[in-house]
Chains A and B, each alone.
Chain A
Amino acid sequence: MKKISLLLLCCATLSQQKSMAGGFKVALQGQKQTGMASVGVGYAQDAATIYFNPAGLSFVNNQINAGGNLLFPSTSFFEKGTNTVYHTASQSFTPFSLYGSCNVSKSIKFGMGLYTPFGTGVKYPTDWSGRYILHQINLQTIFAQPTLSWKISDHFSLGAGLIYAYGNVLLEKDIPVTSDKGDAVANAQLKGKGHGFGFNAGAYLKATDNLSIGLTYHSRVNMNVNDGKATFSNIPAGLTSTFPPSNTFSTQLALPGEVDFGFSYKIVQDLTVAVDFNHTFWSSYDSLGFNYAVNTSAVTDNKSPRLYENASCIRFGAQYAASKNISVRAGLFFDQTPVRDGYVSPELPDNNKTGLTAGATFKLDQSFVFDISLLYENVASRTQKNIETGLDGTFQTRVIAPGIGLTYLFNRSSKTTIK
């Protein structure tokens, strides 16, 4: 195990220049999975499999599983040619997940999941050089997913879930008009709520006692935002007709679909390794547009190109049963960015990501299991000039996210759920 830790460390160090579930995906859907670099498609450990592979539900005991993380992202920007480094304001976010399962019949299980798969939040300093592009963004989504899993044989199951997605978005930027009334900076704020539908489906094969294989498909979810509020503040009095003080907007944000393949293998009695491969169809996010209810010469319906590319991610996780009641785990992932050169923007200063994770599970008694996890992610620094805005410089982001979880097992006689 010592060796493995060191090996993971080396790999992570060497691959710093590469960098995770790219884009604005947040890979924190289960504490045990997070501890293993979010591996879970071919390794159904607990009810979080409702997200990772709904078919896996047939192979886990009925339970309630809750978890949450504190996510601390930190981004810096160095503007090319200048000598200024801007640091984003310290913020924390709380992605969470909640899963539950029960039997419908001998071979069919029902599960319910509530989780936060997409989001981003960045707040730049008020004086930063990109303030006319973006000052602040906050995107949050919550997915609710009723799920059915059908155990076709002792080795094979199929599962599917219906997704209802709810989200809210906040965007703020400064407007390049200066008022003679002093220092108040003209500013635009877009705030809206949206929702959409989708599904996921999976197949799970427990080939042997030691080897499991899974395949999952997550559909795209189109989030429609209608009647969002567009507020313009501190506009010079002479320009209020150009920037109507209150306006509404609509927009659509395509949360991408993905296909995942994964397997897990028990090498020896106490040690299991698992690998997941994700391919996310980011090309659905080709532009970000806003349609305003009232258009003026300065407030026009616009569509700004994003042209994201499909991107892949590979995740390695290992879990070791250190004692009867304690398991420890670690993981490593490499996640390809969906953002092309020339399209990196302050809303998502993305690049390839490298992540290191660790976690542990403590079996408290026959019913309660306590999980902890820690995620560290390095978004490799990226230097380029945005084609649309001319913002030219280097972005770098690091993320740290500790998390805890608690599982309550309904079936006290279970001996196989805890790893």
Chain B
Amino acid sequence: MKKVTYILYTAGVMMTLFSCKPNLKQNPVSSGTADFSRYVAIGNSLTSGYADGALYKDGQVNSYPNMLATQFRQAGGGDFNIPYMDAGGGNDGSGTPRRILGYVMPCNSTTPTISPILDPAGFTALNNVAAGGPYNMVGVPGARAIDATFPLYSAFNPFLQRFCQTPGTSTLLSEALRVNPTFFTLFLGSNDVLLYATGGAVPPTNQFSPTISDPAAVQAALTMMVDSLTKTGAKGAIANVPDVTSIPYFTTIPWNGVVLTQGKADTLNALYAGNSLPGITWHAGANGFMIVDSSAGLTNGFMRHATASDYILLTTPGDSLSCGMWGVYPNKPLKDQYVLDAVEALAVSNATQLYNSSIASIASNYNIAHVDINALLKTLKSGFIYNGVTFNASFVTGGAFSLDGVHPNPRGYSFIANEFIKAINTKYKSTLPLVNTIQFNGVIFP
């Protein structure tokens, strides 16, 4: 009996030696060779948290710099001061609120469909928060790389004006330096092509009209910024420019959205012939939209069918396409402002490549982390699955873009934050944890 007790006792000890609960441990978080105590984020709308066509408070909260600052805080990071908007529908800079998903009655149906609409809550005035500065988040919607060191810019850009120290004198760079940063992230250059592209690459009408920025000027501006930021010993990360033509703004409306029966094609052919445009023909099936193109020549009425290399912009009025015969009738070709044509798209893509090679060499010259957002967008374009959720670059259903088709939604911004974290961890041997994407909202449905 004694023996039995002993054996049972031994068995008891054996069992307790193995704990009943799994023992997976969290990793210690370290900053490596970086110092995150005073972090500043410099950039454009993508850095400000702009989404759904406006800057609004929830967007700022879900911006990638705020996500980064949250992770930095686990490794010695300090407070992250954000120039918050008042809560509400936000502002695109000209008094238009954000978009939300709502019900819209399409022109060719009696059933309402879910589509982006302006937030009925209305816009939020741009509040002046200069007194609360300096700010760790210097994200200025509309800012190009070439604007970032230009003092007068703060007098023109309402988003910078509302929080900078001295409008007309302050620059993005000077605002960033006020924080005396130990760590910076710099994400500029997208607007140097994007504003031109999102406007349909229309010819400039005045000196402020968007054009493609000279790559040399972009390089000079970015170099000057990194030089100033690193002078005091700050470390940082610089992100490159995504190929903007893969964003939903350019890809949602198909180039060949005119689907015809043979009968309708015959009718159109007769119509075009009657308008002395016999060079333009239609066929049964999917046809390219009719777009304005001066190079098409007088005999074709300066019009041609769109091809797979042309992009129809998301801003093209949908009902005019569906019911107004836009892009179909000879008197209604899609205007230049709604189309980024093949030549313009190539110019955008060439400039992007030049900017990105400058950005890569700046990163290596100044020995700072290089964040490949261009590669991230390429991955998103081909689509991937993350924790059981499919993400791609489609509008609304793709899960990563907000309702303006240009800026990410909170989940999309978290992918950007994670690209920064991966690059920073590699460069500075830090062990910052990645952001959990699914804790953020995707597109919100009514």
Chain B residues with Cβ below 8 Å from A378 are 18
The smallest beta-carbon distance between A83 and chain B, in angstroms, is: 4
Given the contacts A178-B441, A180-B444, A236-B446, A82 and B22 also touching, CB distance less than 8 Å: no
Within 8 A of A (CB), among B431-446: 433-436, 438-439, 441-446
Pair A374/B74 contact, Cβ less than 8 Å: no
Within 8 A of A (CB), among B1-27: 1, 3-4, 6-8, 10-11, 14-15, 17-27
Q: How far is the CA of A51 from the CA of B442 in the complex (A)?
A: 51
B384 at the interface (CB under 8 A from A): yes
Partner of A83, one of B14, B26, B399, B418: B26
Partner of A374, one of B1, B15, B23, B434: B15
Of the 9-residue stretches A97-105, A222-230, A321-329, which lies at the interface with chain B?
Answer: A321-329
Q: How far is the CA of A376 from the CA of B17 in the complex (A)?
A: 11
Chain A residues with Cβ below 8 Å from B385 are 388-390
Chain A residues with Cβ below 8 Å from B399 are 176
Within 8 A of B (CB), among A55-114: 72, 74-79, 81-85, 87
B131 at the interface (CB under 8 A from A): no
Of the 9-residue stretches A123-131, A141-149, A199-207, A211-219, which lies at the interface with chain B?
Answer: A123-131
User: Nearest A residue to B421 by beta-carbon distance?
Assistant: A81
A239 at the interface (CB under 8 A from B): yes
Q: Give the bracket for the number of chain B residues in contact with chain A.
A: 35 or more
A208 at the interface (CB under 8 A from B): no
Pair A9/B14 contact, Cβ less than 8 Å: yes
B216 at the interface (CB under 8 A from A): no
The smallest beta-carbon distance between B180 and chain A, in angstroms, is: 29
Given the contacts A238-B445, A360-B4, A396 and B23 also touching, CB distance less than 8 Å: yes
Pair A133/B27 contact, Cβ less than 8 Å: no
B365 at the interface (CB under 8 A from A): no
Given the contacts A74-B21, A360-B8, A84 and B388 also touching, CB distance less than 8 Å: no
Q: How far is the CA of A418 from the CA of B114 in the complex (A)?
A: 72
The smallest beta-carbon distance between B378 and chain A, in angstroms, is: 17
B101 at the interface (CB under 8 A from A): yes
The smallest beta-carbon distance between A347 and chain B, in angstroms, is: 12
Pair A81/B22 contact, Cβ less than 8 Å: no
Q: How far is the CA of A77 from the CA of B19 in the complex (A)?
A: 17
Given the contacts A76-B24, A133-B388, A376-B15, A81 and B434 also touching, CB distance less than 8 Å: yes
Given the contacts A74-B22, A358-B11, A398-B20, A391 and B387 also touching, CB distance less than 8 Å: yes
Partner of A394, one of B20, B24, B433, B444: B24
Partner of A85, one of B10, B25, B386: B25
Q: How far is the CA of A376 from the CA of B18 in the complex (A)?
A: 8
The smallest beta-carbon distance between A4 and chain B, in angstroms, is: 9
A136 at the interface (CB under 8 A from B): no
Q: What's the tally of chain A residues with a CB closer than 8 Å to chain B? A: 57
Chain A residues with Cβ below 8 Å from B117 are none
The smallest beta-carbon distance between B197 and chain A, in angstroms, is: 30
Chain B residues with Cβ below 8 Å from A83 are 26-27, 29, 74, 433
User: Nearest A residue to B28 by beta-carbon distance?
Assistant: A83
The smallest beta-carbon distance between B6 and chain A, in angstroms, is: 7
The smallest beta-carbon distance between B80 and chain A, in angstroms, is: 19
Chain A residues with Cβ below 8 Å from B101 are 180, 238
Given the contacts A180-B445, A390-B388, A1 and B18 also touching, CB distance less than 8 Å: no
A5 at the interface (CB under 8 A from B): yes
Pair A238/B434 contact, Cβ less than 8 Å: no
B389 at the interface (CB under 8 A from A): yes
B329 at the interface (CB under 8 A from A): no
Q: How far is the CA of A8 from the CA of B100 in the complex (A)?
A: 64
Pair A356/B20 contact, Cβ less than 8 Å: no
B366 at the interface (CB under 8 A from A): no
Given the contacts A133-B387, A133-B388, A178 and B442 also touching, CB distance less than 8 Å: yes
User: Nearest A residue to B26 by beta-carbon distance?
Assistant: A83
Chain A residues with Cβ below 8 Å from B441 are 178
The smallest beta-carbon distance between A399 and chain B, in angstroms, is: 9
Q: How far is the CA of A129 from the CA of B389 in the complex (A)?
A: 10
A397 at the interface (CB under 8 A from B): yes
Q: With A82-B435, A389-B388 given, can you name 8 additional A-B contacts, CB distance below 8 Å?
A: A8-B14, A78-B26, A133-B387, A178-B441, A238-B445, A238-B446, A239-B114, A322-B4
Interface residues of B (CB under 8 A from A): 1, 3-4, 6-8, 10-11, 14-15, 17-27, 29, 74, 100-101, 103, 114, 384-389, 399, 418, 422, 433-436, 438-439, 441-446
Q: Which 6 A-B pairs have the closest CB atoms?
A: A83-B433, A133-B388, A236-B445, A396-B22, A358-B11, A76-B22
